[in-house]
Amino acid sequence: MNINYIYDRLCEILDKEDILLNEPMKNHTSFKVGGPADILVMPREEKQIVDIINLVKQNNIPFFIMGNGSNLLVKDKGIRGVVIKIAENYSDFEIKENVVKAKAGILLSRLAKNILKAELEGFEFASGIPGSLGGAIAMNAGAYGGEMKDVVTSVKLLDTDGNIIELNNEQMEFGYRKSILSYKDFIVLEVTMTLKKGKYEDIKSIIDDITVKRTTKQPLNLPSAGSTFKRPEGYFAAKLIEDAGLKGLTFKDAQVSPKHCGFVVNLGNASANDILHLISIIKKTVKDKFDVLLEEEVKIVGED
């Protein structure tokens, strides 16, 4: 890849301040680990996203789409090609009556606050999920009895040929921590949700209750990517890990959180390799003791 050529072409699409070269991915993930991306771009408009995709495809350059980086573990050698970060730069929204339209980069927490102001109920579950809307759609994020599939009406997407398409809830193929994006390289642009009118005090009470549960039960004071593992059918990952005697297990600066065994946390100076090594120990121990194979919920990307 001719970095200078691609950089010059990207400068025709984006402001220079929205293009970062050799950018450490630890600056863009909640785990605070990860080597450099060759180029990281932060588009502000739909047309910019379309133009970037066309550029990288025409030049056969590998690319990776990310949101807020809250469910991402980037390996220590980083990511080759172009990383397209759809986050705070692309986060407009509008609320009309009980219909919410929002760009993919908006944080769920920010969207939840504004939905509360509009006195709409049904989105409370997402108030403490630390990711972007696009990422939440891709993995059908959920918590405390709610999931994105419960509120989504339609999703505006960019397909691999650069066409903008719209899929309804059913066409999105939502399942447990998955959607059509689990096997198709679509990019989420905008989401439409339909909610119900409620009372401000009732909605706030539910959000406050969820906030208390999160802050008391989860290690939110340390870098992590949230729940490290998916829930195995018939089990709870955190309980399996604790019952395997792994609570507080530490490898260098990577640790199984003593507060919630479902979280692997970065005590400060962990590398991606340290975290991956600890994950492999957890998976092997749980498999040996209980014959249950844990599957990562955190998305692992980049070069070793």
Nearest residue to 167 (alpha-carbon basis) of 185, 188, 146, 183 = 188
Nearest residue to 74 (alpha-carbon basis) of 38, 122, 119 = 38
**For residues 68 and 130, is the Cβ–Cβ distance under 8 A?**
yes
How far is it, in rounded angstroms, from Cα 70 to Cα 93? Answer: 21
Which active-site residues does the annotation give?
A: 177, 227, 297
What's the N-to-C CA distance of the chain in angstroms? Answer: 19
Cα dihedral 228, 232, 234, 239, rounded to 10, equals -30
How far is it, in rounded angstroms, from Cα 9 to Cα 54? Answer: 11
Angle between helices 200-217 and 108-117 (to 10 degrees): 150
**DSSP reduced 3-state for 189:** strand
Residue 2, Cβ neighbours under 10 Å: how many?
10
**For residues 66 and 83, is the Cβ–Cβ distance under 8 A?**
yes
Buried b (16+ CB within 10 A) or exposed e, 240-274: bbbebebbebebebbbbbeebbbbbbbeeebbbbb
Strand partners, 255: 250, 265
